[in-house]
Structure 1
């Protein structure tokens, strides 16, 4: 049942009390920042679709597109257009997965990855249509059946690589389906997912050598080479080079591994100038621990405290073989970091009040966000949710942070209600507790929710039904 949490004696570091910025000034500043992010997001979306339109427009401007004749010509041209749009979408997917800071600051990395995944099936369907339509079109022109035409195409230089690229992309999309991914070990899925880079590379030669669509000396050829360079260049810079530079510059190592609950440990880190990583409370990093048992597995984990100059901390729950190994890391292990990422921070705020809801290991970004936020007394309300006493990770620290800022901190302990699909306990459901009764100023608040996905979705569903605007609801979904 809901109860007010008692402030703990745990010592915590908090920011200097805020400057006396009037509330209406603060809200106006946040809303202007939100409008700028929205405008930037709209612009990036327009650019993504414009890139596909430009690819088709350049082809339409080429002489070859004006020689359509008969069913074979229509089939061939439809196949070409499908291939151009599909390839453009695949490159957009790569850019979204490149962890570009501009995209992260605009959408949040979780949203970027969600869009990345949503483009997988349309891209695959267009690539399959590209191959099928061209085979039928060439076969109609040569008066051969599809099987014979496929064999003939396969013997064309660079076409075996094109078929290989299509096969790799099929493997990536199929293994990304939720039902399939759940059955695969993370390591196997990750290796298969990396094949998307190989699929893009091996498909490029046939685009440049087969047919006249991207003939040498044409604007189309220049355009596509530029798109490939940009997409793959962003991957190389932000997924590989920048993490190496960050890791070498800050020299992060494990200091201690502290058990805080069954299956949950806090990993204390040290390094150089960690406060210059630019971490905002609520953000996460992708961590790689360079030991014999863990080096091959990257972990998206939130900071559970805002880093200082020489120290940082993450808190990890045992959710599988990979995360379980982190609890056995010995001090001195070298750590590399990608990030920080995420818009689960005060940067996304637009409303005058703050509502924080955390369950289980979802407490980690909420605790760090609360630490990193300058608050007026009564501005924030925190609700901590746990099934039992073993799930009250970092609750004492969070309650102490709330007390130091004059914020309200409540707890809800007990199994989820069995009588209805609810995020609350059975007792709270019977007593008529709602999100609005816990947060009286809910409609005037930014709502931050973090916890198990099914549970968090139920909280968000109730918030939407209560009338909370979409831009005031914030969740973090980690992605690859």
Structure 2
């Protein structure tokens, strides 16, 4: 399609809108009920998170934490203890948010969970730094030493305390390397390996909590609480970050079938596997892929499916596909994948799917390689003819990846399709449209007049997606109707 703005595409047979069931009048109650349940789960998780923070301090108070406060020095020490308890609780919450637990993933989505994970990074570090400083000041005041001398004495004389200093140093390294300005200077693999230090930081912080000062003494509620929460966090990480990916890999036995070029710098990797029926309906959600070839096996690649799994037999044997753009050395190597290469897989993750729907109408907006997850989502998400609009953005027709497949799906399912191609306007950094359409005064409501009553899925580069989301909000779309797949790390 050569036109930048295409007319609405009809369907040859309105009674057969495609593989997804028609939404009809019964869709809104179904979507609405499921949506309310998901919001209730998210609220319950929020209450549980705040409750754990309150419990960490309340149990210290219940076990007589304030009884020892009789001087300024003991008061400063008590503040240090509270800061340490709160900081450690936030660290464990961070680990749980990154553990890919289905309950959390299904309630708030992977992206939002990681957003909360990142937001807790600085507060947890500040609390742990305050813990160390206040403890050194409080103990030093009681013993007539300056904080530096007291810290050295604690390192040398107190068993397990040196591990606490190591833990704090590791936490500082993790938080600093997580800052956007810093992590952009390093490849993803370096940042990923450094981030694994979080687990080492937690492990090295535990001994002094149980062996120093009798804080978690035998018979206290605190001791059982912290043993339980640490054990639960460790079990969740082991189950969902290690065991389940191994089970999925052995269950599906994925193998590369072929690699095809879609456009300059863009390839599709087609894989065969077993029991793929279990992955149906995962269009739009992403997986972590590891291609078990020399030099590639240790690279985790987060890619969404670009087509729904094609199940060919009763045993679930079939094909699935991802479409990848060359964005660096790691993705460039995928073009050389050989047929027969084994693939380890984790997932699916995220809420960029029909599970997030709350309305009958649906709007899919994608740019660049972000178009490809929308193609898979379009294939199966429920809607009736005329209830879906698809907007594809690219600098040229070549950047409308899988555009022919999306065109055919729109024709078959009765969706409205717009191609928005052309250079952007350098004088309008807040625009999501090509320069010509921006100058002409087009707005999102010109393409989707009733967008305020639709679920809006946006997938593409971070800055561009932010502009689309702002335009949708200005058009009256509520926050819970916006679904965004982030394309950064």
Query: So what's the TM-score if we normalise by structure 1?
Result: 0.96
The alpha-carbon distance between structure 1 residues 479 and 158, as it changes in their structure 2 partners (threshold 3 A), is farther
Give a deviation string over 1:414-448, Cα, whole Å, max 9, x none. Answer: 11112312111111012211100011221121111
- Greater shift, 80-89 or 34-43, is seen at 34-43
Asked whether the 8 Å contact 1:14–1:401 carries over to 2, the reply is no
d(CA) in 1 for partners of 2:64, 2:470? 53
d(CA) in 2 for partners of 1:17, 1:454? 32
d(CA) in 1 for partners of 2:427, 2:112? 33
d(CA) in 2 for partners of 1:17, 1:162? 55
Deviation (angstroms), 1:278: 5.0
Deviation (angstroms), 1:5: 6.9
Q: Who is 2:472 aligned against?
A: 463
Structure 2 spans left out of the alignment, 5+ residues: 11-15, 312-317
- Number of aligned positions between the proteins: 474
The alpha-carbon distance between structure 1 residues 30 and 2, as it changes in their structure 2 partners (threshold 3 A), is same
d(CA) in 1 for partners of 2:139, 2:272? 62
The one of 332, 335, 344 aligned to 1:324? 332
Q: Who is 1:134 aligned against?
A: 135
d(CA) in 2 for partners of 1:223, 1:17? 47
d(CA) in 2 for partners of 1:284, 1:232? 24
d(CA) in 1 for partners of 2:193, 2:292? 18
Structure 1 spans left out of the alignment, 5+ residues: none
Deviation (angstroms), 1:32: 1.6
The one of 407, 411, 420 aligned to 1:403? 411
The alpha-carbon distance between structure 1 residues 397 and 35, as it changes in their structure 2 partners (threshold 3 A), is same
The one of 176, 185, 188 aligned to 1:183? 185
Asked if residue 428 in structure 1 is aligned to residue 437 in structure 2, the reply is: yes
The one of 348, 372, 380 aligned to 2:388? 380
Deviation (angstroms), 1:277: 2.9
The one of 445, 449, 466 aligned to 1:440? 449
Deviation (angstroms), 1:347: 1.6
Alignment of 1:126-275 (within 5 A): 126-155=127-156, 156-275=158-277
Give the aligned CA root-mean-square deviation in angstroms: 1.7
Asked if residue 417 in structure 1 is aligned to residue 425 in structure 2, the reply is: yes
d(CA) in 2 for partners of 1:387, 1:460? 20
Moved over 3 A (4+): 5-8, 13-17
d(CA) in 1 for partners of 2:418, 2:273? 35
Deviation (angstroms), 1:360: 0.4
Deviation (angstroms), 1:223: 0.7
Q: SS at the partner of 1:433?
A: coil
Give a deviation string over 1:217-276, Cα, whole Å, max 9, x none. Answer: 322111101111111111111011100011011101110011111111000000111121
Deviation (angstroms), 1:46: 0.7
Q: Who is 1:368 aligned against?
A: 376
Query: So what's the TM-score if we normalise by structure 2?
Result: 0.94
Asked whether the 8 Å contact 2:245–2:345 carries over to 1, the reply is yes
The alpha-carbon distance between structure 1 residues 206 and 433, as it changes in their structure 2 partners (threshold 3 A), is same
d(CA) in 1 for partners of 2:173, 2:433? 40
Asked whether the 8 Å contact 1:7–1:400 carries over to 2, the reply is no
Asked whether the 8 Å contact 1:14–1:371 carries over to 2, the reply is no
d(CA) in 2 for partners of 1:185, 1:56? 39
d(CA) in 1 for partners of 2:93, 2:484? 24
d(CA) in 1 for partners of 2:20, 2:350? 25
Give a deviation string over 1:319-369, Cα, whole Å, max 9, x none. Answer: 111111111111111111110011111221112211111110001111001
d(CA) in 2 for partners of 1:160, 1:110? 36
Asked whether the 8 Å contact 2:365–2:391 carries over to 1, the reply is yes
Q: Who is 1:276 aligned against?
A: 278
